[in-house]
Structure 1
Amino acid sequence: MSGAVSDPAEDANLLAAEYVLGTLCGAERATVEREALQDPGLRAAIAWWEARLAPLAALVAAVPAPAALWPRIQASAWGTAAPPVTLFTSAADAPPQVLSFWRATTAVGFALAAAIAGIAVFRPEPPVPVPPQVTALVPLNQQAPVFLASVAADGSLSVRPLTTVSVAPDRDLELWLLKDGEKAPTPLGLLPASGAHLAVGTLSGHGPGKILVSLEPRGGSKTGLPTGPVLYGGGI
């Protein structure tokens, strides 16, 4: 087990996760979006995270927008009510100038699509590395994630906080791996509140299970099992 180590590829993947989770400030989000335009790997990681975390949206109940919201948006955008919008049910109903505009923009759209298809065929993007396995560690009584855990192909584990985490001076957080079908978890090491990167061989080919975080006395558990409450957990 080693101390903190910087892995650029893994850092980029976790940055994409924070971008998708919405934990970055405005300037950081803008930086990620600029870098993604030039970095196929970052774009792939963002898309992968969006697909991975989209099911979490199902945990939140839909809330209808207030009836007065759209008039407020109109007033903010145009200063008064929005200009009227005319809808045509068919091309025959549209004025000649509108029909000409549709035809011109459609032709341009087909030309752009053909050009993009040619680029995709004749200039394929380089292969993108597969992102590591990830899980959000959430409190047992809440849904908002507190840590983000990432398991690389070599079995190393990175854990990054998504919010401010405070621990009493006489206590430490400790990481555990509980494999499916087993009753006792395996200790992985202490977890600073600021996060850590741990070289843990037991996570190589670990199979499904859970990563847990318990609150322990200073220095961690002396029994090889959690002695304090399990605060956070997530499946991998």
Structure 2
Amino acid sequence: MTDDAPELDPHDIATAGEYVLGTLPLAEREAFQRRLLSEPTLATEVARWQTHFDPIADEVRPVSPPAKVWNEVERRLFPDPSPPASSVRFWQWLSIGSVLASMALLALLWLGQPGPDAEPQLWVSEMVSADNSVRLTALYDETDGEMRVSVAGQPPAAGRDFELWLIQGDRAPISLGIMPHEGQAAMPIPEDLRILVANATLAITDEPAGGAPGGIATGPIVAQAEMRRI
């Protein structure tokens, strides 16, 4: 992009990424395509996102599983293929694909625009409660020591808060803070704790409003999951 080219607003940058990933609704995608015909700066942004995703696509090689493996996957994912089964499977797979694509885009957008020399060391934890009513994704970037969290689903009861904990080995759980009831938040991790994040477990507990008294968890564990490097 040249110095005299108009700057894109953050929404257009994000939309360009969604366009490349294919997560835009049809009407929005068609409107965006029309804009590409008359806005070269926007087209350049799309090309930049495509270049960023190209190495990921190059590493993927199609492999056809044996029929018995595919049938077993379907049986485990969709144990009750009520009629019309084909229609149900279509929407289930579409939903799964959209979630995965959205998560990938969310991670990239939280970390900013892709740069040619950027090689962030990233860790992710995806916590889902047993009844699927609470979902929290935490993304940690070693390069700046910041954790981004995204919360969705049912909020805590009145007078209660969800609190995020870092669990590493035999150490006592360490509070990382109170979670928003919904949406996203950025949480800088203190320098003395950053070394503990790799391969740790994150957990959410249901605590009194304002957090666990004395920094010691008192409520039940809502969900937990290990940090995984990506």
> Normalised by the size of structure 2, how large is the TM-score?
0.51
For structure 1, the residue ranges without an aligned partner over 5 or more in a row are 1-7, 51-57, 74-124
- For 1:217 and 1:233, the matched residues in 2 are separated by 19
Alignment correspondent of 1:233: 224
User: Does the CA contact (< 8 Å) of 1:37 and 1:43 recur in 2?
Assistant: no
Residue 160 (str. 1) matches residue 175 (str. 2) = no
Once the two structures are TM-superposed, the CA of residue 129 in structure 1 deviates from its matched residue by 2.8
User: Does the CA contact (< 8 Å) of 2:165 and 2:175 recur in 1?
Assistant: yes
Alignment correspondent of 2:48: 38
Deviations 1:64-87 (A, max 9, x none): 9889859xx9xxxxxxxxxxxxxx
Q: Aligned in 2, Cα 1:67/1:126: closer, same or farther, shift over 3 Å?
A: same
Once the two structures are TM-superposed, the CA of residue 46 in structure 1 deviates from its matched residue by 7.0
- SS of the equivalent of 2:215 reads coil
Higher strand share: 2
- For 1:42 and 1:185, the matched residues in 2 are separated by 37
1:109-148 equivalent positions in 2, closer than 5 A: 126-130=116-120, 132-139=122-129, 141-142=130-131, 146-148=135-137
Supply the RMSD in Å over aligned alpha carbons: 4.5
Percent same amino acid at aligned positions? Answer: 25
The total of aligned residue pairs comes to: 155
Aligned partner letter, 1:200: I
Aligned partner letter, 2:176: L
Bigger Rg over Cα = 1
- For 2:212 and 2:157, the matched residues in 1 are separated by 16
Aligned partner letter, 1:39: W
- For 2:199 and 2:49, the matched residues in 1 are separated by 31
For structure 2, the residue ranges without an aligned partner over 5 or more in a row are 1-9, 33-42, 61-72, 91-114
Residue 221 (str. 1) matches residue 212 (str. 2) = yes
Deviations 1:185-220 (A, max 9, x none): 001111111232111124422231111111100110
Q: Which has the higher contact order (CA 8 A, sep 6+)?
A: 1
Q: Please, which of 193, 204, 210 is the counterpart of residue 201 of structure 2? A: 210
Q: Aligned in 2, Cα 1:229/1:67: closer, same or farther, shift over 3 Å?
A: closer
User: Does the CA contact (< 8 Å) of 1:177 and 1:187 recur in 2?
Assistant: yes
Alignment correspondent of 1:189: 177
User: Does the CA contact (< 8 Å) of 1:176 and 1:212 recur in 2?
Assistant: yes
Aligned partner letter, 1:219: G
